[in-house]
Amino acid sequence: MTVTNKTNMDLVDYLLKAESDVTEVVKITDQYPELSIEEAYDLQKALIERRMEKTQTKRLGIKLGLTSKAKQEMMGVHEAIYGYLLSDMLAFEWEPLQQHRLIHPKAEPEIAFIMGEDLMGSDVTASDVMRAAKYVVAAIEVIDSRYKDFRFTLPDVVADNCSSAKLILGSKLVRPEELDLANIGMVMSKNGEMMTTGAGSAVLGHPAEAVAWAVQKLAERGEGLLKGDIVLSGALSEAIAFDMDDTIVAQFDGLGSVTLSSRYV
Ligand code: OOG
């Protein structure tokens, strides 16, 4: 796509307006079918800068997406994706989500890393991630694609900051080396009914492998992880849709549970 900067900013505003108006929109590759992944990351960067400026929010960390083989196969891709988490995306277990601020949200169970040091470089490994992370914590990520029917191509979803909307962290912080992260089991329920199960190995074999991949990918753009960043390493199972008055609980071996509730408030 040979888009001018003006078109770029129009696309950024198009996606940000969809988010603030809580309205789904037609995916951008319908108009720009040749949009490449690299251009999509440029759009994502511009979108994050614009969103931070508009909402006076700060960087909270990074999220990964499409880290499971099942999801990659579903999308016909062989690569994960990353996006940015901002401070106003952080929600709390004790504070129900405002359902009317979300388009068609889904919950994903994830293992979050809290970074104790900066981490950068194209040769960073999973062991480096384990060393640089201070804690791991149970998390639920709320994804809420701005695109109609949650359908998109890879460049579309990258430009839309990988469907990021909200995240909720559990309250048990554990040192990463204290757990066998690949073998952590997880059960997620909705209103008391079991919906899905998964294991840490669903995330590119090991959640720290996924984070290492993100660090390498960020290095291509001269970026990396920063001390204090929260990193959502990718879903352990499929995403579960929820509506107002629903309660979702994800229970992880060794990490305890994390709860999402939603109200029309
Ligand atoms: C893209 C983001 C998915 C994950 O962990 O796979 C994601 C989407 O399906 O909307 O966050």
Top CATH class of 5-263 equals: alpha beta
Q: 29-54: per-residue pLDDT in tens?
A: 999 999 999 999 999 999 999 999 99
The alpha carbon of 184 and the centre of ligand 1 are apart by a number of angstroms equal to 20
Q: What is the pLDDT of residues 155-177, one digit of tens each?
A: 999 999 999 999 999 999 999 99
Q: Where are the domains of the chain?
A: 5-263
Output the pLDDT for position 3.
60
Between the CA of 117 and the centroid of ligand 1 the distance, in Å, is 26
**Under a CB-based contact definition with an 8 Å cutoff, are residues 93 and 248 in contact?**
no
Residue nearest to atom 4 of ligand 1 (CA): 65
Q: Please tell me the distance between residue 157's alpha carbon and the centre of ligand 1 in angstroms.
A: 8
pTM of the model: 0.96
Instruction: Give Rg (Cα) of the chain.
Output: 17
Nearest to 233 by CA among 58, 41, 67: 67
ipTM of the complex: 0.94
pLDDT of res. 264: 80
The identity of residue 149, as a single letter, is D
- Please tell me the predicted confidence (pLDDT) of residue 138: 98
Q: From 37, 137, 148, 31, select the one nearest 82 (Cα to Cα).
A: 37
Closest Cα to atom 11, ligand 1: which residue?
A: 65
Closest by CA to 181, choosing from 237, 224, 118, 236, is: 236
Which pLDDT does position 69 carry in this prediction?
Answer: 83
Those residues with Cβ within 8 angstroms of residue 12's Cβ, 6 or more apart along the chain or in another chain: 43, 46, 47, 50
Burial class (CB in 10 A: 0-12, 13-18, 19+), 34: exposed
Cα-Cα-Cα-Cα dihedral sign, residues 192, 238, 146, 159: positive
Residues with CB under 6 A from ligand 1: 65-67, 71, 108, 141, 143, 145, 157, 162-163, 234-235
Of residues 78, 70, 12, 14, the one with CA closest to residue 39: 12
Torsional class of 104: left (φ above 0), alpha (ψ -120 to 50), beta (otherwise): beta
Residue 147 bridge partners (DSSP): 25
Which residue from 67, 71, 81, 238 has its CB within 8 A of the most atoms of ligand 1, so it is best to mutate?
A: 71
Closest protein CA for atom 8 of ligand 1: 163
Low-confidence residues in the chain, pLDDT < 50: 1
Distance (Å, rounded) from C-alpha 68 to C-alpha 175? 24
Nearest CA to ligand 1 atom 7: 65
Handedness of CA 202, 208, 212, 218 (dihedral sign): positive
CA 258 to chain CA centroid, nearest Å: 16
Q: Write down the pLDDT at residue 4.
A: 65
Nearest atom within ligand 1 for CA of residue 66:
6
Tokens 């390493």 belong to 233
Q: Given the CA of residue 75, which atom of ligand 1 is nearest to it?
A: 9
- As given in the structure block, the two tokens for residue 123 are 């040769």
